[in-house]
Amino acid sequence: MSKKLGRNYLFLAVTGSALGVGLAAKFFELAAISQAAFGVGACVGLGLSIALLAAAIKNHEFGSDVLALISIVATGLTGEWLAASVIALMLAGGRALESWAEGRARGQLESLLARAPRSAHVISENGTLSELALPLVTVGARFLVRSGEVVPLDGTLVTDGTFDESALTGEPMPQRHILGESISSGVLNTGPEVEIIATQTDANSTYSNLIRLVAQAQANSANGVRIANKWAVRFVPFALGLAAVTWAISGEVSNAVAVIVAATPCPLILAVPVAIIAGMSKAASRGVIVKGGAALEGLARAKTVLLDKTGTLTQGGPEISAISFAPGADENFVLTLAASLEQSSPHIVAKAIVATAHLRGLKLSRALNVVEEHGSGLTGIIGTHAVCVGQPTESLPNWAQTNHALLVEVRVDGEVSAIIGLDDPLRTEAAATVGHLRSLGVNRIAMISGDRMSTAQEISNQVGLDEVFAECKPEDKLRIVHAEMTDTIGAVIAVGDGINDAPALAAATVGVAMGARGATAASEAADVVIVHDSIAHLADAIDVAQGARTRALQAAGVGMALASGAMFLGAFGIFDATASAVAQEFIDAAAILWALTPIRSRLKN
């Protein structure tokens, strides 16, 4: 239990006990004890309201906390000690309920921190295991992950494995990964023990970045959860004005006090923050970290979405689309030689070739005398064959007429044996995500890419975008974002994954970074981070944000309407101060509970 929650529970216990003792003493006609008990409760409420008002002033906020202070003082001065005690209980109860709701909503975020590994089982060259703190584990180190343990660092699998990725992706079913595939830190090994080669240090791993983002989200959320106070600026003068008019017309101070009591504390200041925090928690459970309440509200108002191409709409890395072999060549043999040589290169194209060979079940050999010429390719000896893999050095042979974004030539003993075509494939979920965004009320979806117009336009045609901005530099992306924000009524969402996207993400109403791995600059500049590498979570995030905003408005609107009704009953003398206080207690509790009620997703699978 947090200190804040414990303190609020203590206030609730004291004010509740004081009210209970006072009512019991009143029943047995022990007037002195009754008044003293009510007075104790009122004093606790007075101190709590002063503290809340001081905190609001310190944070340059204006809210309905001032009404609690005025109503306790007014009921005390008019001798309504029972009402003052009920107000104190109502104030303490509201804060305790709000703290409980915050804790309930933050549970998903805090669970990420609780399960973070602190060390790794590193395998030395002689095969012995040693326990090393994660900051001491270097890239290239081989480590063991036992069954039931969380993967501590990003890496490449040395053995096949099965993993529970729900903490990162929300996917409930265990996922099977084979030798050579990349695995993210933070996933749970649900199969036998596996060996992994580290590809990132602790500081740059997926899970460490995620934890930093979660901490930042928690630190920044306070700026958003009190945004309802701007509405309270109108409600507080209304309540005070109605009380003044009531006093002037009726001449009864008690009626004016009943009006103020009915408005204390406003459901607005309780329901809205609770709904926003619950929305942030729900987004986290779907693999999206929202860094604050303002970002969540911005997502809910999305009308224009600007998407980067590489790594956002596409996979962000080359995959083999086609392989053309020379007539008479043994396809598996040639691919085995090429992949065996490419094992020695860290290049992303080399990884794609090696992965294809693994998928075909080919057994690779170790290459000798490997020489890499950056920008050209690799040469080496495999068995008795001289192999060269790199860019085509001359026009393509007749048997390899192909059109792909990237071409790789394989020469065996000086002869061209294969031409490998690679492309950056469109994400399988991209088209569906664009459809989902439109169903959520997004009016305009455009692509901003640094790629050529022909390539960008082809992607746009496949997913159905409204406009394409191609061959853009970072400053061009920034200019486009500013122009869209000027022309859009509503929020502009910019989505990207690279360093070149960071300025645009920072300038947009809401910046969304794809993936916590590798995109440090983008993640830091963004207001929202999609943890799992899937654009589908963008629609999930907007759906959750709209649901949270809708629930907050419903809870606050109904609560304010009921509170206004109680205020008018007080103005006409139907409710006294005590009845107004009891009524408002039920109104606040109902508003918070409604704010916590899940709203049905608008997305159709």
Q: What is the per-residue pLDDT across 450-493, written as a single tens digit (0 to 9) for each?
A: 777 877 888 899 999 999 998 888 788 889 999 999 998 999 99
**pLDDT band at residue 112 under the 50/70/90 scheme:** low
Q: Tokens 């101070």 belong to which residue?
A: 253
Q: What are the beta bridge partners of residue 514?
A: 530
* 55: number of Cβ within 10 Å: 11
Count of residues making up the chain? 605
Instruction: Tell me the sheet residues that pair with 372.
Output: 378
Distance CA 262, CA 567 (A): 5
Q: Give the whole-angstrom CA distance, residue 174 versus residue 224.
A: 36
**Tell me: the pLDDT tens digits for 77-96?**
888 899 889 888 877 876 77
pTM over 0.75: no
Task: Tell me the C-alpha to C-alpha distance, in Å, between residue 524 and each of 112, 217, 268, 347, 497.
Answer: 19, 11, 32, 26, 11
> 283-341: per-residue pLDDT in tens?
888 888 887 778 888 999 999 999 988 778 887 777 888 899 999 999 999 999 999 99
Burial 572-595 (b: 16+ CB within 10 A, else e): eeebbbbbbbbbbbebbbbbbebb
Which two tokens mark 472? 């853009």
Q: Is 550 exposed, middle or buried (0-12, 13-18, 19+ CB in 10 A)?
A: middle
User: What confidence score (pLDDT) does residue 518 get?
Assistant: 43
CA distance 210 to 518: 11
Residue matched to tokens 């020379």: 326
pLDDT, tens digit (0-9, with 9 covering 90-100), for 519-533: 455 566 678 888 777
Q: Please, what is the average pLDDT of the chain?
A: 83
List, in sequence order, every residue forming a beta bridge with 143; answer none if it has no partner: 122, 196
Are 318 and 348 a contacting pair, CB within 8 Å? yes
pLDDT, one tens digit per residue, over 5-62 is 788 889 889 999 999 999 999 899 899 999 999 999 999 989 988 988 888 778 766 6
pLDDT category of residue 116 using cuts at 50, 70 and 90: confident
What is the C-alpha separation between 543 and 450, in angstroms, rounded?
Answer: 29
Q: Tell me: the pLDDT tens digits for 352-392?
A: 899 899 989 999 998 899 887 755 678 999 999 999 998 88
φ, ψ at 94 (rounded to 5°): -65, -40
- β-partners of residue 240 are none
Q: Report the side by side order of strands in the sheet with 188-189.
A: 175-177, 161-164, 188-189
- Asked if pLDDT for residue 216 goes beyond 70, the answer is no
- The position carrying tokens 């002195």 is 32
Q: What is the pLDDT of residue 487?
A: 92
Q: Distance between CA 49 and CA 264 in Å, rounded?
A: 11
C-alpha R_g of the chain: 31
d(CA 411, CA 421): 15
Cα distance between the two ends of the chain? 38
| Cα–Cα dist 259/244, whole Å | 9
Task: Choose between 42 and 186: higher pLDDT.
Answer: 42
Of residues 527 and 172, more confidence is placed in 527
What average pLDDT does this structure show over 103-107?
55
Distance of CA 395 to the CA centre of its chain: 49
* Per-residue pLDDT band at 412 (split at 50, 70, 90): very high
Q: What percentage of the chain exceeds 90 in pLDDT?
A: 33
Domains and CATH numbers, the chain: 3-111+212-279+545-596 (no CATH), 119-149+155-199 (2.70.150.10), 319-423 (3.40.1110.10)
Residue 279 and residue 297: Cα distance in Å, rounded?
10
Residue 257 token pair: 């006090």
